[in-house]
Structure 1
Amino acid sequence: MKFSACLAALFGAVFVFLPAAAAPVDAGHARVELISERDAALPGETVYAALKMDLDDGWHVYWLNAGDAGLPPQVIAQPSSDIKAGAIGDIVWPLPHLLPVVEGEIMDYGYNHQVVFPFPITIPEDAMGPVTLDVVADYLICEDTCVPEQARVKLKLETDQAEANIREGELIGKWIAKSHVPFPGEARVLKKDLNWSLSLRLDGGFGKVRSIRFFPFGHDILHPAAQPVELGRHGATVSLSAADMTDVSKPLDGVVVIEQEDGARTGYEISAVEGPPLPDTSGLGPVGGVGIQVAAWKLILLAILGGLILNLMPCVLPVLSMKAFGMVSAVSSGHAGEVRRHGIWYTAGVLVSFGVLAAIIVALRAATGPITLGFQLQNAPVVAILALVMFAVGLWLMGMFELGTSLQNLGSGLADRDGDAGAFFTGVLAAVVGSPCVGPFLGAALGAVMGHSAPVVFTFFLAMGFGLALPFLVLSFVPNLYKLLPRPGKWMDTLKQFFAFPMFLTAAWLAKVLGDLAGSGAVAWTAAGAVAIAFAAWLWQREARLPRILAAVTLALTLFGVTERAMAPAPAIGASSAYAAKYEAEPWSASQVQSLIAEGRPIFIDFTASWCATCQVNKATTLKSKAVHDFFAANDVAFLVADFTRKDPAIAAELARHQRAGVPMYLWYPAGSDEPQVLPEILNQGLVTSLPVNP
């Protein structure tokens, strides 16, 4: 009897110190329990309570922004509760997870399995004894279908002392730690149409990152859209797709969730104001990319090899024809020193141009985020001026005007220097026109080099230029080679005039690119500019001073007028839509890719541009062939075109995600696979028709 009494007293003492929470309530698809970090609290004190929810497998509840569909849980105080609604604070939301509902179309944010929602409560100042927290947990829980559920749960707290509940207190503290904190750095968003770029700057960067995802508080962005991320030395840049009808005047508010390689997740609350990208928030390649792991010396070798192959690209051949004529002219002097100097000046022109290009890329990379090769040909005024320069060079080759005579008339004996200047200018042209032609070996190497420091970027581009200039440099320094060139004669005048036609063809090609960029009006103005340049060249041949002044004025007005017209707003056409219509394809978008993957269709994506000569060759020889057309039709292949003729941040981000710094890029998705195969830059029919349809 005494033993039974002692045992009863012992258990009674234990239950005094057990949590005052009631048993979990089974609401249907979740077990809901109200817990507290304290068993007792003093009047006026604020402590944390929490809803603890254990969900059925496959079911989920929502974050404060549910995404495309859903509702967040609510804690509703009941009339019988001693702790009223005004004493119950906001839920401390744990970091959300992505919940794809329909792949590529509907994305929700929330939680699976178990989740704890902490919230602060304040004990009434006039509490004289135990107080009860009586609330209803109101929530939407979903699997394939959604079910609204409620659970009424209660909690009793003593108020005569402050006493911790160690077990539940640790659990609540753990889930509070899973919430977001204020961002200690700076956030800024660049809003360009519906393509936004969110730059996040934090001194020292984010460490070894596995993924970065932005979760908005509102519906400013398309929730299911991919968010390509590029890292920088002091942060990262996230590419976002804005929703239609978004109020662009408001800051972009939300939580950035950063997952480290060890699985640890950190969330930062941001309010990004509009402005240019923050410095050092890009340039180290995409999250999870291998670009920053490529050894610098391998990149340099690839750059030299790629530069050598660049000599074979169609866009460079017209300039090389002009260089070949210059080399023959230099050989005609009969002096080895003249030939060597010609080769050195040509190489200098190439290297200076590639050095300037590297400087521009490094500067723009720091200021605006990811940069792609060929960006200069996405600028309509640059294309217009290049077309006129090519046309003027053609006129010079045809003999419409001679610069050498005028320079000699200056009385400073510049005949020889004119040859050097011509060689240097030829090198500049080869670099400017050739750089967008990303040949074999250069696609991956250019994507990788963006993961290195500025000195490596400069070295890479100089090595590429050295590879481009190397054949003529070797030819100029090895007498046994240049002596094989034919002897000078009358044929040289004929050859010089013949080389004018590749220049005119290049000008015509650039005019076509200009039309894609700025419309037919810009092409018409450029054609008129070409006539004006021909008129200026005709005037320049006159010995009198007045005609030459008129020629100079005509040239200046032409360049000004054409540049101004080319800067006019471009025709409003959707990205990729023009090319897609031409090649019986669909315009590319990240959401379209996800939809096609969900349908189980194979996908071929052509990242192209009208100024990319390699792209045009691949189209003519492979993508428009009957064999490839029949292969696509027989296997229900979705053919998507991403037209990069104009600057497109979404396409630039996709190129960076696959460690590519320019077009062409070709991706192949087997049926139902979300892992694409990156194809070679040079295609052939056999390669495409042998692609595996199934993973």
Structure 2
Amino acid sequence: MHQRRFHRLAAALVLALCLASASWTGASAQSGLGFGAAAGSSVVATPHLRAELLAHAPQGVTAGQPLWLGLAIDHQPGWHTYWKNPGDSGLPIQLDWTLQAGLEAGEIAWPLPRKIPIGTLLNYGYEGTMLLPVPVTVASTFAPGPLAQDIRIDLHASWLVCRETCLPEEGRFTLQLPIRSSTALNGAAFEAAWQARPRPLADGAQGQAQPDGQHLQISVPGLPAALRGKTLDLFPETPQVIASASPWTQAWNGDLWTARIPVSPERSSSPATLPVVLVEQSAERAVGQGAERPGYRAELQVPGPWPPVAAVAGVSPALQSALEANAAQAAGTAVSGAPAPALLAALLGALLGGLILNLMPCVFPILAIKLVGFTRHGAGHGAGSAQRARHALRANGLAYTAGVLLSFIALGALMLGLRAAGQAIGWGFQLQSPAVVAALAALFTLIALNLAGAFEFGHLLPSSLAGLHLRHPVADSFLTGVLAVAVASPCTAPFMGAALGLAAQLPAPWALAVFAALGLGLALPCLVASWVPAVARALPRPGAWMDIARRLLAFPMFATVVWLVWVLGQQSGIDGAGALLILLVGLGLVVWAMSLTGRARRWMATGSIAVMALLLWAFAPQVIRLAPATPSADASTRWQAWAPGAAEQIVASGRPVFVDFTAAWCVTCQYNKQTTLANAEVLADLARKNVALLRADWTRRDPAITAALTALGRNGVPVYVLYRPGHPPVLLPEVLSVAQLRAAIAGL
């Protein structure tokens, strides 16, 4: 078919899309909003807190001399931020430093947190005034220059600040630090923060945490005499291991402190070492602002095997396997040879998810085009001709499969690489870029016009290039596989969610194996059609129907363009969507003019290209410009915009919550929204049970939503979660039926 001539151009555009999405992700990560701070300021003020970048260099910036940086936060009354382990909800404070060569920032010396109970939840965080000190190493190679008087310190910090509601905030800080003179003005604040950090136990004494059923039997020797016989509080540094809010018992046996603490039913790791901080309970409750709270840090060794991850009602077996695999990996028990059963289950889930992807509206037209192409390849007359046709068919099937597999692996490697670099992204991240959405809309417009017969790509290219597809049909099949992955990436099919969530937590080789299994599932129908003679014989023989099928397939492509324009409208507003439509009309004019012949082509092509250049200059900025975000709420169905910690806050008041993690570019999300979530019986059931409805819109890049998805063991949307007081959250299937949702609501 003639559309094959376009595949080389399509592959180049797909590669450009990947590079554009990667660069956009990195750029957006550096375009954070500073709250109340001018460029170059060391202070950021919000309605909820005041943050300031401080330094302490009593001997100047010199190798071998102490240098401390820190972020001081003064909370408004009633507001708090979070410790390294936020507890049952919340997000820890994140600090990202940009320092001159020769300076290296260490880890945060976290001060002892406070317990912050919220209903049935227990969080760990900070109120009032506090300082997060960070030691900085000055290398012997540090050379600021003979004329340099100071150095520049840049910090990008992000935090979640909460009271009744939680708000993600961030700020950019800049500080000019003198090199040779002393900077000891903040010495008292850093000294107080240093004293507030947990202290190591004397003589390196540690402890032990022996798993016992769904509890940990903890024993810690060598605690200071001032703590002996006292009731202690325990702060685990590893999140989601201990049931923080559940009751537990403790006792003293001489100088040995013991406790029996329940394990979290949603445990996501099983560490071999469990660091904890111990502090006198009465001191923790009576402490005032600035008062000393001596805490002691112990690294508890876990000698025995952890109990299996407790099954959570409503969680799919694939997600359950993902949790168990995460636990095994964290404990160092994941094998490097044969994969564990949990990993095999994830690979099977990815394979099934990829297979179902072929039925998604955004993928099925590509599959149909390829199968029609197989019909042409499968035609042969005579024994020799039939054998050559069979070999050609198999070669094309293998090439298509290779294109799909390598593209999925490349996309997975890009996603994992960006996550390792600190980017909060997940499956479908490239569709969060307006530039990528617009480029895909242009690609599908060209394919649709070609399928409809408006032009032929062979007329646009020199004859030497136009005939390449005849000499290299295998390369065309490979590029068709690349194109299939480009259109499949926004979709999430059943079984995919838990598998991709696990892939984000696995070592790179196993993670890429999950992506490869997903690609194999997507390519499987074409691979089987090309290698199984019975399937090949079942395909209809070439004929006039192929031209009709070709033109018919143009309409799903046009529908895909409509969907992409709508997605861009969610990102860039109605003006951005209108600008994209104008550019698509200009693109159609260019390809039509290029398909003309003779003098008409010369004049019309030149004029249309000039017009297109003018349209790009005028309208492209509007297309890629993000419109101001608006809360994803719907008053008619009581939907409210999701915020970090909002679900937990509502559940703590005794009310159940249903959360819809969605995105405009997610086809499955939109199908569920227009069918199951808009069903009158479902809405009546939700109202009868007084269920609060929250919608987390991931259309744009949102690190808080990414973190929430990761905590649920997922890496993309859709995700549907039902929270109820006193119970773990229930995860519902990606393709959500009315019966499934009504059954879950009935169980509240």
State the TM-score, normalizing by the size of structure 2: 0.56
C-alpha deviation, 1:541, in angstroms: 1.2
Equivalent-residue separation in structure 2 for 1:474 and 1:637 (angstroms)? 47
| 1:368 aligned counterpart, secondary structure | coil
Q: Counterparts of 1:122-271 in structure 2 under 5 Å? A: 170-172=224-226, 210=241
- Say which one has the larger Rg: 1
- Using the TM superposition, name which of 332-341 and 451-460 deviates more: 332-341
Q: 1:679 aligned to 693, 709, 732, which one?
A: 732
- Using the TM superposition, name which of 646-655 and 398-407 deviates more: 398-407
| 2:359 aligned counterpart, secondary structure | coil
Equivalent-residue separation in structure 2 for 1:343 and 1:657 (angstroms)? 39
- In structure 2, the CA distance between the partners of 1:255 and 1:434, relative to structure 1 (3 Å rule), is farther
- In structure 2, the CA distance between the partners of 1:231 and 1:67, relative to structure 1 (3 Å rule), is farther
C-alpha deviation, 1:618, in angstroms: 1.6
Aligned to 1:688: 741
Aligned to 2:684: 630
- 1:312 is the counterpart of 2:368: no
Equivalent-residue separation in structure 1 for 2:719 and 2:497 (angstroms)? 8
| 1:456 aligned counterpart, secondary structure | helix
Aligned to 2:372: 325
Q: Counterparts of 1:261-410 in structure 2 under 5 Å? A: 290=327, 292=329, 295-332=342-379, 335-404=389-458, 409-410=463-464
In angstroms, what is the RMSD of aligned CA positions? 4.6
Aligned to 1:612: 666
- 1:539 is the counterpart of 2:570: no
Aligned to 2:27: none
Contact 1:291/1:449 (8 A) holds in 2: no
| 1:313 aligned counterpart, secondary structure | coil
C-alpha deviation, 1:428, in angstroms: 1.9
Aligned to 2:78: 68
What whole-Å deviation, never above 9, does each CA across 1:625-655 have from its counterpart, x for those lacking one? 1110111111111121111111111111111
| 2:744 aligned counterpart, secondary structure | coil
Contact 1:666/1:680 (8 A) holds in 2: yes
The residue type equivalent to 2:391 in the other structure is G
What whole-Å deviation, never above 9, does each CA across 1:363-420 have from its counterpart, x for those lacking one? 1011124431010111111001101111110011012222246657127952414644
Contact 2:685/2:745 (8 A) holds in 1: no
Aligned to 1:490: 544
Equivalent-residue separation in structure 2 for 1:98 and 1:447 (angstroms)? 30
- Using the TM superposition, name which of 418-427 and 498-507 deviates more: 418-427
- 1:513 is the counterpart of 2:567: yes
Contact 1:291/1:450 (8 A) holds in 2: no
- 1:100 is the counterpart of 2:117: yes
Equivalent-residue separation in structure 2 for 1:256 and 1:480 (angstroms)? 72
Aligned to 1:569: 626
- In structure 2, the CA distance between the partners of 1:521 and 1:211, relative to structure 1 (3 Å rule), is farther
- In structure 2, the CA distance between the partners of 1:625 and 1:654, relative to structure 1 (3 Å rule), is same
Q: 1:522 aligned to 558, 561, 576, which one?
A: 576
The residue type equivalent to 2:544 in the other structure is K
| 1:607 aligned counterpart, secondary structure | strand
Equivalent-residue separation in structure 2 for 1:340 and 1:368 (angstroms)? 42
Contact 1:68/1:106 (8 A) holds in 2: no
Equivalent-residue separation in structure 2 for 1:586 and 1:208 (angstroms)? 28
C-alpha deviation, 1:694, in angstroms: 6.1
| 1:604 aligned counterpart, secondary structure | strand
C-alpha deviation, 1:657, in angstroms: 0.4
Aligned to 2:652: 598
Contact 1:286/1:659 (8 A) holds in 2: yes
Aligned to 1:268: none
Equivalent-residue separation in structure 2 for 1:451 and 1:404 (angstroms)? 46
C-alpha deviation, 1:305, in angstroms: 2.0
Equivalent-residue separation in structure 1 for 2:123 and 2:507 (angstroms)? 39
| 1:433 aligned counterpart, secondary structure | helix
Contact 2:350/2:521 (8 A) holds in 1: yes
Contact 2:499/2:514 (8 A) holds in 1: no
Contact 1:603/1:639 (8 A) holds in 2: yes
Contact 2:500/2:715 (8 A) holds in 1: yes
- In structure 2, the CA distance between the partners of 1:98 and 1:339, relative to structure 1 (3 Å rule), is same
The residue type equivalent to 2:78 in the other structure is D
Contact 1:308/1:467 (8 A) holds in 2: yes
The residue type equivalent to 2:671 in the other structure is V
Q: Counterparts of 1:575-594 in structure 2 under 5 Å? A: 576-577=632-633, 580-581=634-635, 583-594=637-648
What whole-Å deviation, never above 9, does each CA across 1:462-510 have from its counterpart, x for those lacking one? 2211110011011012232122222222222111111100000001001
Contact 2:452/2:554 (8 A) holds in 1: yes
The residue type equivalent to 2:531 in the other structure is F
What whole-Å deviation, never above 9, does each CA across 1:516-560 have from its counterpart, x for those lacking one? 011112211211111111111211212347355666676777677
What whole-Å deviation, never above 9, does each CA across 1:120-166 have from its counterpart, x for those lacking one? xxxxxxxxxxxxxxxxxxxxxxxxxxxxxxxxxxxxxxxxxxxxxxx
Consecutive unaligned residues of structure 2, counting only runs of 5 or more, are: 1-73, 81-108, 128-221, 245-265, 274-292, 304-321, 335-339, 382-388
C-alpha deviation, 1:338, in angstroms: 2.9
Contact 1:438/1:662 (8 A) holds in 2: yes
Aligned to 2:279: none
- In structure 2, the CA distance between the partners of 1:289 and 1:628, relative to structure 1 (3 Å rule), is farther
- In structure 2, the CA distance between the partners of 1:504 and 1:467, relative to structure 1 (3 Å rule), is same
C-alpha deviation, 1:211, in angstroms: 7.0
- 1:416 is the counterpart of 2:470: yes
Aligned to 1:89: none
Contact 2:698/2:705 (8 A) holds in 1: yes
- Using the TM superposition, name which of 505-514 and 545-554 deviates more: 545-554
Equivalent-residue separation in structure 2 for 1:257 and 1:615 (angstroms)? 48
- 1:504 is the counterpart of 2:558: yes
Consecutive unaligned residues of structure 1, counting only runs of 5 or more, are: 1-63, 71-91, 111-167, 181-205, 214-227, 236-253, 265-284
| 1:681 aligned counterpart, secondary structure | coil
- In structure 2, the CA distance between the partners of 1:486 and 1:351, relative to structure 1 (3 Å rule), is same
- In structure 2, the CA distance between the partners of 1:381 and 1:640, relative to structure 1 (3 Å rule), is same
Equivalent-residue separation in structure 1 for 2:532 and 2:683 (angstroms)? 49
The residue type equivalent to 2:737 in the other structure is N
Aligned to 1:45: none
The residue type equivalent to 1:573 in the other structure is T
Equivalent-residue separation in structure 1 for 2:502 and 2:591 (angstroms)? 45
Identity %: 37
State the TM-score, normalizing by the size of structure 1: 0.60
The residue type equivalent to 2:527 in the other structure is L
Aligned to 2:179: none
Aligned to 1:658: 712
Q: Counterparts of 1:2-21 in structure 2 under 5 Å? A: none
What whole-Å deviation, never above 9, does each CA across 1:177-222 have from its counterpart, x for those lacking one? x999xxxxxxxxxxxxxxxxxxxxxxxxx88983799xxxxxxxxx
The residue type equivalent to 1:571 in the other structure is P
